[in-house]
Amino acid sequence: MTRRRLVLYLLLNALVSVLVSGAILFYYDRANHKTDCGTSETVPTLASGGVNADIVSVTGAGAIASESVVIQNNGEGVLLLSGWTLKDSQGSTYIIPQLTLYPGGKVQVHTRPGTDTAADLYWGLSAPVWESGELAALYDTQNIARAFYRVP
């Protein structure tokens, strides 16, 4: 009978662990991924349509050597990003040069100076742009909002 109780105890322990871990991940994702995070700033509404560009991360905020933004094409078609703009909350703007992203393709926009490649673009600034809690925004050539990301 003790072996049976042990098995029931282990199953109950596993179930509680899964539920707690799931709840923590759910609330962490809601609080840190593309949400308003309780600030008074209004998050603009995205445009509808067939374009499925996404800002998937902003890393190294505040450190010029590692600061970058990753943009991904989550749509099924080719995405022409030439002339699109990446903006921060203070109005700093980067205009994307001639660039085509295929489905699933990504490009990393670095804040620091460097030489552009197909996978890495360089803003050419000498100071960091991004701050924790700030909203990164991606706009198309008609200045229509296509993606937002809250910097962690």
CA 31 → CA 37, 96, 152, distances in Å?
Answer: 6, 29, 10
Homologous superfamily (CATH) of 53-150 is Lamin Tail domain (2.60.40.1260)
For residue 129, the model assigns a pLDDT of 96
Nearest to 128 by CA among 62, 70, 57: 62
pTM for the model = 0.69
Task: Write out the two tokens for 16.
Answer: 């509680």
For residue 13, the model assigns a pLDDT of 84
Nearest to 107 by CA among 139, 68, 78: 68
What is the residue whose two structure tokens read 């980067």? 94
For residue 34, the model assigns a pLDDT of 43
Nearest to 129 by CA among 44, 53, 62, 54: 62
Per-residue DSSP letters for 72-96?
EE-SSS-EE-TT-EEE-TT--EEE-
Per-residue pLDDT of the chain (152 residues; tens, 9 = 90+): 688 888 888 888 888 887 777 777 766 665 554 444 444 444 454 444 567 899 999 999 999 999 999 999 998 899 999 999 999 999 999 999 999 999 999 999 999 999 999 999 999 999 999 999 999 999 999 999 999 999 99
For residue 31, the model assigns a pLDDT of 57
Residues written for the chain: 152
